[in-house]
Amino acid sequence: MTSPRTVEALVDHLSTRADDDDPHRRERDAGTLAGLTAAGRARLRPEPGEEWRHFAGYLAGHLLHWLVDRGRPPDSDTIRVATYYGAPLGDEAAQRRLDEPAANVRWLHTYLMIYLERKLGHPADVELESQLVSWLCTQLRVRPATDDTGALLGRMRARRVARYFPDATPSGEAASRGSAEG
């Protein structure tokens, strides 16, 4: 199957999987559909009785729509990014931080980026990270990054990349390894 090219095509694709035999995938896909079609900001708390997989799918779907609206292609890479950054916002550690002051946007973003980048196996590019933190700030009703917070996020990024990806440059690119093969 070819990759869907629009949010509408993603919705159609997920709708055709509604009779999937895997109940966990059905639950996650239903949440993703809800997130893809939600208007406005994402709800950051599960509804009473909502399954975790559904809520994680909802957050991933909402972020996926956000990224596609901002020029990212709705391909498997963007879907993975949305899943690995959006879904962990529904876990217990992130949910506890939602009850704390807005300053915890830095903690939440770092937490989500570590999860995302470990799953990807490499640092996300700077432009993508900027879009992700913008989505998070919008959902939390926190002002988007100013020059000061942008500089802070840059320093946080450099520390995170150095810690988890020592062979990458601070911008996240793989360091040159030369052309000699053993």
**Cα–Cα distance measured from residue 55 to residue 70, given in angstroms and rounded to the nearest whole number:** 23
Distance CA(176)–CA(98), nearest Å, equals: 40
Question: Residue holding tokens 């903690």?
Answer: 107
pLDDT band at 181 (very low <50, low <70, confident <90, very high): very low
175 within a domain of the structure (yes/no):
no
Domain membership of residue 182 (yes or no) is no
Residue 172: inside a domain: no
Please give the model's pTM, rounded to 2 decimal places.
0.83
Long-range pairs for 115-119 at CB < 8 Å and ≥24 separation? 115/84, 115/85, 115/88, 116/81, 116/84, 116/85, 117/160, 117/164, 117/165, 118/164, 119/80, 119/84
> Which structural domain range is residue 158 located in?
7-164
Q: How far apart are CA 115 and CA 70, in angstroms?
A: 22
For residue 65, being part of any structural domain is answered with yes
CA dist 46 → 50, 58, 90, 156 (Å): 6, 9, 8, 29
Q: What is the pLDDT of residues 55-71, one digit of tens each?
A: 999 999 999 999 999 99
**Res 135: pLDDT:** 94
The residue among 37 and 174 whose pLDDT is bigger is 37
Q: Is residue 66 part of a domain?
A: yes
3 pLDDT band, cuts 50/70/90, is low
| Site of tokens 């994402």 | 42
7-21, 25-39, 66-80: the lowest-pLDDT one: 7-21
Q: Are 25 and 95 in contact (CB under 8 A)?
A: no
Q: For residue 177, is it within any domain?
A: no
68-82 in b/e form (b: 16+ CB < 10 A) is beeebebeeebbebb
pLDDT digits over 119-173, tens only?
Answer: 999 999 989 998 999 999 899 888 766 656 678 888 889 999 999 999 887 565 5
Q: Output the DSSP codes for 52-80.
A: HHHHHHHHHHHHHHHHHHTT---SHHHHH
Q: Is residue 156 part of a domain?
A: yes
Residues in Cβ contact with 25 at an 8 Å cutoff, skipping those fewer than 6 apart: 17
Structural domains of the chain, count: 1
Q: 31 lies in a domain?
A: yes
161: helix, strand or coil: helix
